[in-house]
Structure 1
Amino acid sequence: MADRLAGKVALVTGIGSGIGQGIALRFAAEGATVLGCDINPATAEATVAQAAERGTPLRSLHPIDLTRPEDARRYVQAAADEYGRVDVLVNAGAIPPHMAGVGEMDYETQWRPTIAGEVDLVFLACQAAWPWLIRSGNASIINFASVNSYRGSRHLAMVAHCAAKGAVLSMTRQLAVEGGPHGIRANSIAPGLIQTAATASAGLASGDIAATVTARTLLGRLGVPDDIAWCAVYLASDEANWVTGAAFGIDGGVTAA
């Protein structure tokens, strides 16, 4: 079914790669008016070019650093000025977390940047977009938790990442509570290990860790961005008009077994 998002103005952060890129491209293909953003101008431009080649264009504002309140406000205001509305906010952007154990993690250079890069930027984008989402009257916020919102890791020291993604999960529930009277739905997606440039550069998309995670899935493979994008399409669409405060585990069954 095409055009599931026709008539909707969607903000999608982190469109330069991975899940954000997959969602931006899929939303545009489903008829949404997409304004993306990324901190990296080169990768954002590459996504814009890819969308144009597919005949489903989207726009991007970059560079945008969503850990800066003024950048979050500038991004949302650009959509408001151009389109006069915001119907969907997808907080797919994040700064790669620092992986260290509690005993080794430095508070200033590792803990705080991880929390800012995975929690603060979600809050700031939601806060900036909130008045426009209220005006929509039928709005959707989609945030990203993780399987590590529910479980720790024996293979990687990730205390800050687990804390951050647990915070996003809880924050999204509260956004659903506060948004309900205004017609704002807020849901989270908790992906398993997804094959992206970021996970590849971190050595997670291949080798022993990838093999271990793959063996733990019920479907025998790692995820790809489009696996997540299809869930986001549903949550942004009118098909999900009675869905809020929910967490969708898209992880190949890792948390089921």
Structure 2
Amino acid sequence: MSTSTRTALVTGAGSGIGASVARALSSDGVRVALVGRRRDALVDVAARLGGAVVVAGDITRDADRIVAEAVGALGGLHVLVNNAGAIRRNLRVHEIDDETWDAQLAVNLTAHFRVLRAALPHLMHADGDRSIVSIGSTLVHKMIPGHGAYAAAKGGLVALTKQLAVDYGPDGIRANAVLPAVVRTPLAYTDRPDFDERAAAMAASYPLRRLGEPEDVAALIAFLASARAAWVTGTVVLADGGLSVA
């Protein structure tokens, strides 16, 4: 399959990092399919981009249909950004019930596997540079209390990304992971209703003395998704304001 315009599918594109990634890719001339559970949010993002495809749905339950609809509307697929996620905080492992554990792995790992399984045949069928970028977390390697299920799921996603680089490199498909620290998105408020009051103190622990903005992470993802990073695969890139070395 050959198209004159590169195409991308971005999960969790209704807000936060996902919406910013969609804008960054669109600015690079990529036609984007916006995927998320809330159609109204996706429509709002699409209205600012022009030409974006909206596919509402829950990737934990309906990945095959979502990918098929997105690729059908785009006419092919060159880029997949695995961004959708949810977090639970303030639970040590003995406090995590089966429902919470299963839900965290479902949205942060298993759903992305299902999206990948559906998307990879389309990526293999496309021409030119093709890229998968998965969004992990600094919690993969810099632990803080109470994030066991989320950290385990994100760690699995990073390992899966490395495996993709090995398995699909011969097909010309690259796979990389980006690990953000705390970014000012709706996710930052989950189990943390006092986030606004705590943000300044949290930022003081970062060498750059600020938390991340969605655009900080989106710019890196857009680079890894582009042919400018054509010899970059299997990498895990930090986007954390220096937190990991502090």
Q: Among 150, 154, 160, which residue is 2:149 paired with?
A: 160
Any gaps of 5 or more consecutive residues in structure 1? 1-5
**Pairwise CA RMSD:** 1.6
Corresponding residue for 2:141? Answer: 150
CA distance in 1, matches of 2:35, 2:87: 16
Aligned to 1:28: 26
Counterparts of 1:79-98 in structure 2, within 5 Å, are 79-97=70-88
Q: Report how many residues are paired.
A: 241
CA contact (8 A) 1:195 1:224 kept: yes
Aligned to 1:245: 234
Distance of 1:11 and 1:99 partners within structure 2: 32
User: TM-score, normalized by length of structure 1?
Assistant: 0.89
Superposed displacement of residue 191, structure 1:
0.3
Gaps (5+ residues) in structure 2? none
**Does the CA-based 8 Å contact 1:142-1:189 persist in structure 2?**
yes
Identity percentage over the alignment? Answer: 34
Q: 1:204 to 1:23 in 2, by over 3 A?
A: farther
Deviation at 1:98, TM superposition (A): 5.7
Q: The residue matched to 1:74 in structure 2 has which SS?
A: helix
Aligned-partner Cα distance in 2 for 1:216–1:98: 19
Residue aligned with 2:42, SS: helix
User: Structure 1 residues 182 and 204, CA, compared in 2 at 3 Å: closer, same or farther?
Assistant: farther
The answer to whether the Cα contact below 8 Å between 2:53 and 2:73 also exists between their aligned partners in 1 is: no
Q: Distance in 1 between matches of 2:172 and 2:12?
A: 25
The answer to whether 1:214 aligns with 2:212 is: no
- Aligned residue number for residue 185 of structure 1: 174
Residue equivalent to 2:59? 66
Contact 1:146 1:191 in 2 (8 A): yes
**Deviation of the 1:204 alpha carbon:** 6.6
TM-score, scaled to structure 2 = 0.92
Residues 89, 167 of structure 1: alpha-carbon distance in 2 compared, 3 angstrom cutoff: same
Once the 2 structures are TM-superposed, how far is the Cα of residue 232 of structure 1 from its aligned partner?
A: 0.9
Match of 2:124 among 119, 134, 140: 134
Aligned to 1:197, which of 170, 186, 194?
186
1:51 Cα deviation from its structure 2 partner = 2.5
1:56-112 Cα shifts (integer Å, max 9, x gaps): x412111x11012xx2111221233233310000011113336411121101x2111
